[in-house]
Amino acid sequence: MTQRKVIQYRIPLGFTFSFPCKQEGLTSARLTQWTKGFKCSGVEGEDVVQLLRDAIDKRPDIDVDVMAIVNDTTGTLMSCALKNRECRVGLIIG
Burial class (CB in 10 A: 0-12, 13-18, 19+), 91: exposed
Check: CB of residue 13 under 8 Å from CB of residue 59.
no
Positions annotated as catalytic residues are 36, 72
